Amino acid sequence: MSRSLLRRPLLGGRRLSAWGALVPVVALLAGLLFATSSSAAQGTNLRGGEVTELSGLIDQRNDVIADQEDQLGDLQRQVERLTEQAASRDTDVAAAQTAGDAGALSAALVPLSGPGVVITLDDAPSRPDGSLPVNARPDDLVIHQSDVQAVVNAVWAAAADGVAIMDQRLIATSAVRCVGNTLLLQGRTYSPPFVVAAIVEPSAVRAQLAASPQVAVFQQAVEAYGLTFTVRERPDVELPAYDGALDLQYATAG
């Protein structure tokens, strides 16, 4: 509001202008707003409080997910025991169990070990003075969803027997999602470095990585800005069994 619009109240019994009458109302509303902000902040920074509260909610949610995973594991073990008991008395149940066990390996429901590779992707290291490389944007210095997905696609294309990201076994419905610079996988969040482990022929993986256009784009960023991208062969890679939910919630038959 410009200063010329403000009017002082006239003396000598003259009437106030419209703007002059509004000044006390505006002042009163401003006072109420400041009082409300002070009460809500309770002596703290509101903006900082929101960040702290969000961080606390994320940690709280991760704790809930961990508890639910433990409960799911207990229930799965109970189901296995009950199935074993039923199979010992019912041939139909035994036949169904045998058929299910035959597909457990392909469904990633059992642990797997063997020779393979461990691939690490990480953000570029920060400079001591906080500056950026020449012609770089902040987004150029971090790992993106497309980078992780390109690497995982190449590993699957190399006919991997099993793949895990951050010790989370991947199945057919697993999705790689990034939120900011964190990875969201099967309900859990992870910060870089991101580690992809696979039981696979190393030479086949290297060939698929070299043939991928998406990995080539990522490799350019690695060379230009110093991001981490390493592929290491391992004689014994151990992958955990997938222990999450198997029900499809959104897919429908075509």
Kindly report, residue by residue over 84-101, the tens digit of the pLDDT.
Answer: 777 677 776 666 666 656
Residue 224: both structure tokens together: 């230009």
**Residues 180, 129 within the same domain:** yes
Range of the domain at 206: 110-239
Mean pLDDT for the stretch of residues 163-168: 95
**Residues 126, 179 within the same domain:** yes
**Residues 57, 129 within the same domain:** no
**Residues 235, 193 within the same domain:** yes
Q: Work out how many domains the chain is built from and give that number.
A: 2
User: Cα separation of 141 and 2, whole Å?
Assistant: 45
**Residues 120, 97 within the same domain:** no
In 42-177, alpha helices (H): 46-87, 91-104, 145-157
**Residues 132, 203 within the same domain:** yes
Instruction: Give the phi and the psi of residue 211 in degrees, each rounded to 5.
Output: -90, -10
**Residues 234, 151 within the same domain:** yes
Confidence of residue 39 (pLDDT cuts 50, 70, 90): very low
Q: Which helix (H) or strand (E) holds 116?
A: strand 112-122
Task: Give the type of residue at 68.
Answer: Q
**Residues 64, 151 within the same domain:** no
Q: Percent helix, strand and coil across the chain, each rounded to 5?
A: 50, 20, 35
Is 64 or 111 the better-scoring residue by pLDDT? 111
Interaxial angle between packed helices 202-211 and 145-157, expressed in degrees from 0 to 180 and rounded to the nearest 10: 130
What pTM, to 2 d.p., does this model score?
0.63
Average model confidence (pLDDT) across the chain: 76
How many DSSP H helices and E strands does the chain contain?
A: 6, 8
**Residues 135, 68 within the same domain:** no
User: Cα separation of 217 and 136, whole Å?
Assistant: 15
* Residue 19 belongs to a domain: no
In contact, 9 and 16? CB cutoff 8 Å? yes
CATH number reported for the structural domain that contains residue 234 in this entry: 3.30.70.1880
Instruction: Give the phi and the psi of residue 178 in degrees, each rounded to 5.
Output: -115, 135
Q: Is the model's pLDDT at 187 over the cut of 50?
A: yes
* Residue 252 belongs to a domain: no
**Residues 121, 221 within the same domain:** yes
Residues ≥6 apart with Cβ < 8 Å to 5: 19
The radius of gyration computed from the CA coordinates of the chain, to the nearest angstrom, equals 29
* Residue 62 belongs to a domain: yes
**Residues 92, 199 within the same domain:** no
Q: Please identify, among 103, 126, 150, the residue that sits at the C-terminal boundary of a domain.
A: 103
* Residue 159 belongs to a domain: yes
Interaxial angle between packed helices 213-225 and 145-157, expressed in degrees from 0 to 180 and rounded to the nearest 10: 130
Nearest Cα to Cα of residue 69 among 168, 205, 172, 217? 168
Instruction: Give the phi and the psi of residue 233 in degrees, each rounded to 5.
Output: -80, 140
